[in-house]
A and B are shown apart, each in its own frame.
Chain A
Amino acid sequence: MEPTSTSSSSDAARKAAEAADNEFTTMSGKPIKARYGPEDLSGDADVKIGEPGQYPFTRGPYESMYRGRNWTMRQFAGFGTVEETNERFHYLLDHGQTGLSTAFDMPTLMGYDSDHARSLGEVGREGVAVDTIDDMEILFQGIPLGEVSTSMTINAPAAILLAFYVLVGEQQGVASEKLSGTIQTDILKEYIAQKEWCFPVEPAMRLVTDMVEYCTDHMPRWHPISISGYHIREAGATAAQELAFTLKDGFTYVERAIERGIDVDAFAPRLSFFFNAHIDFFEEIAKYRAARRIWARELKETYGAKKPESMRLRFHTQTAGVSLTAQQPLNNIVRTAIEALAGVLGGTQSLHTNSFDEALALPTEEAVRVALRTQQIIADETGVTNTPDPLGGSYFVESLTDELEADAYDYFRRIDELGGMVEAVRQNFPQREIGEAAFDFQRRVDDGEFTIVGVNQYVTEEEEVPLLHIDPALETKQVERLAATRAKRDSAEVESALTALKDAAAGEANLMYPILDAARVHTTEGEMIEAMQQVFGTYTETPVF
């Protein structure tokens, strides 16, 4: 716009600009100014921004980023029984996917066997059912575990599923030292957002620390915790809340491991993160950059890490499931592409792109292929991978990065005042903050303040898309396989393994070893969970809304 000549009209213009400023916010409600310039960079901008691959890693964990190696294309998959999921794994690898990611069904996530009364109707619905080592063996049939890295999304029973995986590796002749991958294990965010738990918070934290210790000793290529903001965001958190609660969870795991006597530089390099990629493009990019800088600073200054690898935050990204609409589902391809691009410009190490039909059901093969192709188009056609952190130095992006960082520190302070994250979770603090944000966002959508295309704007008649149907007979098939395993195993061995596990739970020994022993003799996941619950108890939430 041309500058105006009279002072009164320039006042009016300034007022109009100020009024307009108030109308421009990020998705999380952060006000955006009419312009950003050099004055928006902080005094020590050079130090805070730094160089890619160098402390404080704002610009990325590696010097060459995608010039050196592309991100891992890792589509989360799992449904029905292990046979169906194994077939989907092979399909994805055949289409150029470079890592595996396993979704378990609800009973597996909650520690119930497929034949438990609570599992009825849920077996294989939202992921794959795994009860014993026999299932795990079929799940990874024909997949060389020494070559493919695997991610497993499981938390409360993570130690048991890791034990199954280690034993399948053994059967394939791959030593645990050679296994590479990630298991989620982030139990704090379960109480905060995802809500799949087995034990009270304290014993659950002990189990996490046992796994960290075990992996530090035996699995140098394994990531024992994927500290996850994804589910926190999906539950309705703002970008700043996702950033703050996730990092604070991470610091809490670090503190527990240090208290256990593990050297921070021995385990911190194997911690990784998992963030959401929501639809507000620049806010997301700023969130990843702020996360790297905060983690680096705290690991170095608060936790005394010496190795740069301990300070270097690496993360997986998944596009926002909650941004997908049931209405006009093909529009979701576009949303996912934009979110994925934010993840890439934010420097992600691996990426899952959601399929367009996922507001309606688990994805069909075709929908998954389009989602994978979206990543391949970003990687191979757009040129955005040619240089690290191409948005680094943008007045706007750097300023937003600073603001999100400040928001996160504000939350850290409030959580510390409550006595730390475990105590804050017990007091429902993050749960309440997220609930408020979710309600507020819904109000903005209902009032038309926030546009969702096809939902509150540009509404048209419904289109039908073909959906994946999961055959209810698969549940019976899984229950039968479990019955066969129970029939063929040596029940005396199982009993004594369970007794040993209970004894260990009552004492202080690392639980990974008795879990491995129990898994080897075909003890089921549910039996091991029940044995530990006899010692630890269970968890019931006091819901806040």
Chain B
Amino acid sequence: MSAATAEPKTDRKIRVVVAKPGLDGHDRGAKIIARALRDSGMEVIYTGLHQTPEQIVETVIQEDADAIGVSILSGAHMTLVPKILELLEAEGIDDVLITVGGTIPNKDIDALKEMGVSGVFTPGAPTDDIVNFIRTGVSRREL
């Protein structure tokens, strides 16, 4: 990293949008993750429930997020995640780390990763693993 051109981005807190797209109200996981990320020193923006992909991408832009954690337990991940990725691409956003959590069957995990999702976390994933994944993933992108 060159000291002369380094943006203060690395000194600032990692900014994460925790997002609940779709209609399901299962927010236990999203809130636990939001709090764990915050406790680990990140800046967390939780969208609240029932967000459209458009609303989520808007939040990512407005908050200048480094990472996004999408929580879905409704089985609609193969509709909602591609939609979010599509909108991010249309906005020219390619430097945001994308993670997904929820009840996601194995075969869909592979498909989501192929689309550009960096990490998928299913029930039982230790909170620390998720925090570390985001921290490592974001800093790697900034190098």
Contact = CB atoms under 8 A, between A and B. Distances in A.
A and B form one complex: yes
B86 interface: no
A125 B123 CA distance: 19
A543 B28 contact: no
A200 interface: no
Interface string A422-443: 0000000000000100110011
Nearest to A235: B28
Contacts of A322: 28
B122 A121 contact: no
Interface in B54-113: 74-76, 78-80, 103, 105-106
Nearest to A106: B23
A331 B131 CA distance: 28
B124 A438 contact: no
Given A361-B75, A456-B126, A110 B23 contact: yes
Contacts of B25: 190, 193-196
B18 to A, nearest CB: 9
A121 B22 contact: yes
Contact of A121 (B31, B80, B105, B124): B80
Nearest to B124: A455
A327 B24 CA distance: 23
A467 B74 CA distance: 15
A322 B124 CA distance: 10
Give the one of A195, A235, A472 with max B CB within 10 A.
A195
B122 A122 contact: no
Contacts of A112: 23
B75 A470 contact: yes
B79 A325 contact: no
Contact of B35 (A125, A439, A542): A439
Given A435-B31, A464-B106, A122 B123 contact: no
B48 A360 contact: no
A196 B23 contact: yes
A126 B76 CA distance: 9
A106 B24 contact: yes
Given A107-B23, A360-B105, A446-B127, A122 B32 contact: no
Contacts of A443: 127
Nearest to B73: A126
Interface in A325-339: 325-327
A361 B105 contact: yes
B117 interface: no
* A contact patch SS: loop
Nearest to A124: B75
Contact of B76 (A121, A195, A359): A121
A439 B36 CA distance: 9
A284 interface: no
Contact of B103 (A359, A446, A542): A359
A105 to B, nearest CB: 9
A443 B34 CA distance: 14
A120 interface: yes
A195 B32 contact: no
A119 B79 CA distance: 11
B124 A118 contact: no
A541 interface: yes
Given A195-B27, A464-B106, A543-B46, A106 B74 contact: yes
B39 to A, nearest CB: 9
A106 B22 contact: yes
A542 B31 CA distance: 13
Interface string B113-134: 0000000001110111000000
Interface in A432-489: 435, 438-439, 442-443, 445-446, 452, 454-456, 462, 464, 467, 470, 472
Contacts of A107: 23
Contacts of B34: 545
Interface string B1-34: 0000000000000000000001111111011101
A438 B75 contact: no
B123 A325 contact: yes
Given A106-B23, A543-B46, A126 B35 contact: no
Nearest to A470: B75
A122 B23 contact: yes
A127 to B, nearest CB: 10
B76 to A, nearest CB: 4
B63 to A, nearest CB: 15
A439 B32 contact: yes
Contacts of B50: 110, 118, 195
A126 B34 CA distance: 25
B46 to A, nearest CB: 6
Given A106-B74, A118-B52, A543-B31, A442 B22 contact: no
B28 A236 contact: yes
Contacts of A122: 22-24, 74, 76, 79
Contacts of B124: 325-327, 359, 452, 454-455
B49 interface: yes
Contact of A442 (B27, B32, B49, B79): B32
Nearest to B39: A439
B75 A126 contact: yes
B23 A109 contact: yes
A168 interface: no
A118 B76 CA distance: 12
A543 B49 contact: yes
Contacts of B79: 120-122, 472
B125 to A, nearest CB: 9
A190 B80 CA distance: 23
Interface string A214-251: 00000000000000000000111000000000000000
Given A361-B103, A464-B106, 5 more contacts: A118-B50, A120-B79, A195-B26, A326-B124, A545-B31
- Which 9 pairs of residues, A with B, have the shortest CB-CB distance? A121-B79, A195-B25, A106-B23, A545-B31, A125-B75, A121-B76, A455-B124, A543-B48, A326-B122
Interface of B: 22-28, 30-32, 34-36, 46, 48-50, 52, 74-76, 78-80, 103, 105-106, 122-124, 126-128
13 contacts: A109-B23, A120-B79, A125-B76, A190-B25, A195-B26, A195-B27, A235-B27, A435-B31, A464-B106, A472-B78, A472-B79, A543-B27, A545-B34
